[in-house]
Structure 1
Amino acid sequence: MFEKTYRDRLQADLARWEADGVIAPAAAAAIRQALPPLPAGINIAVVVGIVGGLLIAAAFLAFVAAHWTEIARLLRFAILLAGMVVTGALGAWFAARGRDVLADLCASVGAIIFGAGIALVGQMYHLGEDFAGGMLLWSIGSLAAAMLTGSRGALAVGLVAASIWTCMRVYDAPDVLHLPYPAVWLIAAGLAFAWNSRAAAHLVALAVLPWWIATSLRFELEGAQPSFVLANGAALLFGAGHAIAAMPSPRARQLGSVLSIYGAFSLAAVAILEVTTVDDIIRFRTRTASAQPIWAILCGAAGVILALVSAVFTKRAGEILSACAIGLALLAAPLWPVSTAGEPWFAYAALLCAMLCLVVSGVLDDVRPRIVAGWLGIAGVIAGITWAVKGSLLGRSAFLAGAGLIAMVFATALNRMLPRAER
């Protein structure tokens, strides 16, 4: 929740509670005094200043680009070096005066100029055409700048460069699992944890996806559906997010909650992909075999275990259902080849139950993103089943009608079991 929005709502609630006599005026005043001051936000002057700085930087880059071939090599390098020095000095000046947004912007621009310097040196001196290595160097420099300055923008630049690096390495060597990227990602995750920053946590969560997607699309996995490999990654992200959020540290709770949100949406997206890619709407492989690498299967199993461990410590029923959602989504992979002669009804049922568990989990734990992810997953899976190429439309309609009746019976039984206050 944004801080200013929370403060405005709290002030309105305090005024209403005080008028209704729920709390004494002295208690309301004490609550207001206990609140720390609001952090400095981005006002109109800061926005205009950022736009002006970007325009000046763009004009400088356009001028240099127009005369690039006329500038001597050493002068080109000196220009880029001066750009990094100037942005660093400006960032330090802004940070000393409490202008954190402008200081972050300067660090980000400096990280981008550093990448341009790497490309320039490689172009001028005809270094080895290892573009992926250059991206790794850029990522290392940007992450170092993020460590020194606390810049979220520099962290974003470093993660983007690292994502490009790992995708290129996976493409160049598809028969080798690219493990150095998870090590770089753990460094970035450590920064997000140390900063206790929700923005950094979002960046770290997004940075997981390129590696899993590139790895799942490797062509040496003969017969394996990429969606099955992606399902294991989503399971690990979702389960690990729950486990991290269960730790007593507020930093861990914030990082884990963000990771679990991305894990929930990833699980919903994978459920939709399994229906649409395995059943001939979009075909990635010539076979629907569920053959998966052992490491991917272990990652999926770890996601289920971590979600269950989190449920044990937090005593939340919703997290038990999260583990069920993960397990059912993973169960669809081995169920698919069982029905090669006909339609994979059991796999369809597993995915629908997984998304239903995701929705109920979000309702029980009062986590709205999990509810949204579950509803999107249900809608996507139903659409995929309805428009699947294989089988008859009559059979699919009968399956969906039966699933709907079962859901209604389950809802009725659940409504009678729950106390009236929890319905």
Structure 2
Amino acid sequence: MRLIRLLKNDLAREASDWVDDELISRQQAEAICQRYDVDFHQAQNHSLGYRVLIALGLLFMGTALIILIGANWEDIPRALRMWGMIALTVSTQSFAVFRYRSNESAGVGLFLLGNVFFGASIILIAQVYHLGEHMPDGIFWWALGSLPFALITRSVWLMLFSLVLALIWFFVEAHMGFNPSAFPVFLVAACFVLVVSRQSILLLLSTVFALFVYIQYQFTQYWSHHFSLDIWAANAFVSANLFLATYALSHRLRMSAAVKAQDYAAVLSIWVLRFALLGLLIMSFETPWRELAEEMNPSHTSLLYVLCALMALGVMLALNTARLRLVLLLNMGLIGLAAVLMFYSVPDLATVLQVLSNIALVVTGIVLIMRGIQRGISHYFFLGVLSLLLTALLRYADLIGDYLGGALLFLFFSALLLGSAKYWKSQQIAQESTDEN
């Protein structure tokens, strides 16, 4: 998938420079931007950095006011404390509604400031009247109270604010041994905003992360029979299957005619690839495999049912896509691996699996290099080269470690890089010859 979709706002600004240099007409620039669902005129006004600075400025303004009030909290009469904080929150949100009608960006910023005041009101008023001894409840009501404004305005930033608060509440609640059962409300709300609002890669990745954490937590409490954040060996297999399902989802979205869906497909695909390489690098050592083999036992039979259910989900998402066979084979491989670790005690199994992981890592790197050359995608090419270099370097540090081995290793590096560069150049020359003919 072309990564230009992730840089389309930069493309719009570049197109403006091309118009100024009279390389293309304004109509052509608008047509280019329309292809990637970006507003040519709006992209020239404010950048993402501008909006981030405004949001941070408002947050710091709210924080400064809260600190000032907190410093003089004991000197303020009790009734004035409560009604003053309520009045501050209501007036800020009311002014935000007024500004939102004429200036959406300014209104969202004021809503964000009002949400900060709302959280401060919960904390300070609860201290005055000693409301609730369960600390995470305050964070929950702060997140829940901020959620309606995100849904009404369909603002990415307000939804992100509420989701971050919900994640904080989730981790605090789980750490204290309680089940954050209301967390799916925020996940559904985030998915709704992702669908109906403008594209947001940050909100997409945050939502996927939150969903993964929640699913893993549910399985953890099922296997441990109590609510905790403990990580089990089975969670590694669940994570791998979730990433495969996400990969299948990316190719399902890629088939959509909607530009936003194709953008999300590119983001999900590239991040799944990065985490897959990271996982292979971690499993290229013997220690992780040995620990997995020691922890996995026949009592984890329920894991196989979970993996089969996740495989069914991944296959269903991959139907009628070009990656159906790959998703099916990888899922079956994970289920088979889990079964082997559970039911068979093979001598030196960890060493065998380490060797297979290194082979898989090298093969993946070679495939990425070839695909990058064939499709002209430099990101795949350099990611493949990086994976091969890291594999060789890790194996040198882990296995060889002498001068002769180091010399041979760097000779291999040199041959690999020079050969890749030569092959890349030959492919570019061949492509140019084809275009001329």
Query: TM (normalized to structure 1)?
Result: 0.70
Contact in 2 for aligned 1:223/1:287 (Cα 8 Å): no
CA distance in 1, matches of 2:218, 2:388: 26
Q: Which residue of 1 aligns with 2:4?
A: none
Q: Does 2:299 align with 1:289?
A: no
Q: Deviations over 1:2-22 (max 9, x none)?
A: 43543423652896767xxxx
More helix by share: 2
C-alpha contact 2:361 2:391 (8 A) present in aligned 1: yes
Amino acid at match of 1:280: T
Unaligned runs of 5+ in 2: 1-6, 34-38, 225-229
Whether contact under 8 Å (2:315, 2:328) holds in the other structure is no
Return 105-114 or 337-346, whichever deviates more: 337-346
Choose the corresponding residue for 2:269, options 256, 260, 264.
Answer: 260
Q: Deviations over 1:198-255 (max 9, x none)?
A: 2433443443454466568768389626433332232222222222232233333233
Further displaced range: 330-339 or 197-206? 330-339
2:100 to 95, 108, 114: 95
Amino acid at match of 2:207: V
Partners of 2:213 and 2:117 in 1: CA distance: 24
Cross-structure match for 1:349: 359
2:93 touches 2:111 (CA, 8 Å); kept in 1? yes
Which of 154, 158, 170 aligns to 1:154? It is: 158
Match of 2:147 in 1: 143
Whether contact under 8 Å (1:242, 1:256) holds in the other structure is: yes
Does the CA contact (< 8 Å) of 1:243 and 1:306 recur in 2? no
Check if 1:280 corresponds to 2:275.
no
The alpha-carbon deviation at position 67 of structure 1 amounts to 1.1
TM-score (structure 2 length as normaliser) = 0.68
Aligned mates of 1:245, 1:60 — CA distance in 2? 46
CA distance in 1, matches of 2:200, 2:382: 20
Output the amino acid matched with 1:238.
Answer: Y
Q: Give, in angstroms, the shift of residue 354 of structure 1.
A: 4.3
Which segments of 5 or more consecutive residues in structure 1 lack a partner in the other structure? 19-27, 313-318
Shift of 1:183: 5.2
Q: Secondary structure at the match of 1:61?
A: helix
Contact in 1 for aligned 2:66/2:120 (Cα 8 Å): no
Paired-residue identity, %: 17
- State which of 3, 19, 43 in structure 1 corresponds to 2:9: 3
Given that residues 119 and 134 in structure 1 are in contact (C-alpha distance below 8 angstroms), is that contact kept between their aligned partners in structure 2? yes
1:111 aligns with 115
Are residues 1:31 and 2:38 paired? Answer: no
Structure 2 counterpart of 1:191: 193
Following superposition, the deviation at residue 185 of structure 1 comes to 1.5
1:189–1:252 distance in 2 versus 1, CA, 3 Å: same
Q: Deviation of residue 52 (structure 1)? A: 6.4
Distance 1:384 1:256 in 2: 32
Cα 1:215/1:385, change in 2 over 3 Å: farther
Deviates more, 1:223-232 or 1:366-375: 366-375
> Aligned residues, how many?
392
Residue 227 of structure 2 is matched in structure 1 by none
In the alignment, which residue of structure 2 is the partner of 1:70? 75
Offset of residue 195 of structure 1? 0.4
Residues 1:184 and 1:86: Cα distance change in structure 2 (over 3 Å): same
Q: How does 1:120-269 map to 2 (within 5 A)?
A: 120-173=124-177, 181-182=183-184, 184-199=186-201, 200-208=203-211, 210-211=213-214, 220=224, 224=233, 226-269=235-278
Correspondence for 1:22: none
Q: Return the letter of the residue paired with 1:194.
A: V
Write out per-residue CA displacement over residues 377-401 of structure 1, whole angstroms, 9 at most, x where no aligned residue: 555555555555xx8879xx8xx99
CA shift, 1:146, in A, is 0.6
| 1:330–1:32 CA distance, 2 compared to 1 (3 A) | same
Deviation for aligned residue 1:188? 0.5
1:109 CA displacement: 2.2
Q: Per the alignment, do residues 258 and 85 of structure 1 end up closer, same or farther by CA in structure 2, a change over 3 Å counting?
A: farther
1:204 is aligned with what amino acid? T
Post-superposition shift, 1:191? 0.8
Give the superposition deviation at 1:65. 1.4
Taking the aligned partners of 2:282 and 2:220, their CA distance within structure 1 comes to 13
Query: Does the CA contact (< 8 Å) of 1:241 and 1:256 recur in 2?
Result: yes
Q: Is the 8 A contact 1:386 1:393 kept in 2?
A: yes
